[in-house]
């Protein structure tokens, strides 16, 4: 029997990228993996992240932002950082580390319409990266 993977998505605020990644992974992988997300400076979940996830039928409105300090290192075997490497939080532990550099849609100074497009783009990039990761790990794509 294959051991269930334990994934942690990590970014700075745990308000957009890592929350969307957690929602996508939970939705598409189901019980195949255990998923958490956290940040070094957690803040409120961005309403635009909730909105763009709702657009594809995934509700993350009940998620809460968590500090990386709340995560037990033994509960994680893969850490995926979703931010600029120089500002990514550090996670202590023996977990495999992957880095998916993605623009932070929450820091954009664009109009609300353009910012919404950026959130959608980041959501879709995360989904593509999850598909690629699934092929690397399981040798198949089912997302």
| Domains contained in the chain, number | 1
Selecting among 13, 49, 50, 83, the annotated active-site residue is: 83
- Among the listed residues 11, 24, 68, 118, the single catalytic one is 11
pLDDT tens string 80-104: 999 866 566 667 678 889 999 999 9
Q: What CATH number should be reported for the domain holding residue 62?
A: 3.40.50.2300
User: Are 122 and 9 within 8 A, CB to CB?
Assistant: no
**Would you state the pLDDT for residue 87?**
63
Structural domain harbouring 71: 5-137
Active site residue 16: no
Low-confidence ranges of the chain (pLDDT < 50): 1
Please state the pTM of the whole predicted model.
0.90
* 117 Cα distance to chain centroid: 18
Known catalytic membership, residue 124: no
Q: Determine the pLDDT at residue 134.
A: 86
Q: Is 1 a catalytic residue?
A: no
What is the predicted pLDDT for the residue at 136?
84
């Amino acid at each position: 029997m294959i051991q269930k993977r334990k994934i942690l998505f990590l970014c700075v605020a745990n308000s957009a990228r890592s929350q969307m990644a957690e929602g996508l992974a939970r939705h598409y992988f189901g019980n195949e993996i255990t998923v958490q997300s956290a940040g070094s400076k957690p803040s409120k979940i961005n309403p635009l992240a909730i909105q763009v996830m709702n657009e594809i039928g995934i509700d993350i409105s009940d998620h809460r932002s968590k500090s990386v300090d709340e995560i037990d290192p033994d509960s994680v075997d893969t850490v995926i950082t979703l931010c600029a490497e120089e500002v990514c939080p550090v996670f202590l532990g023996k977990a495999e580390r992957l880095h998916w550099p993605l623009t932070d849609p929450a820091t954009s100074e664009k109009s609300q319409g353009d910012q919404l497009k950026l959130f959608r783009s980041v959501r879709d990039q995360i989904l593509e990266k999850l598909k690629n990761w699934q092929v690397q790990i399981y040798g198949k794509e089912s997302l």
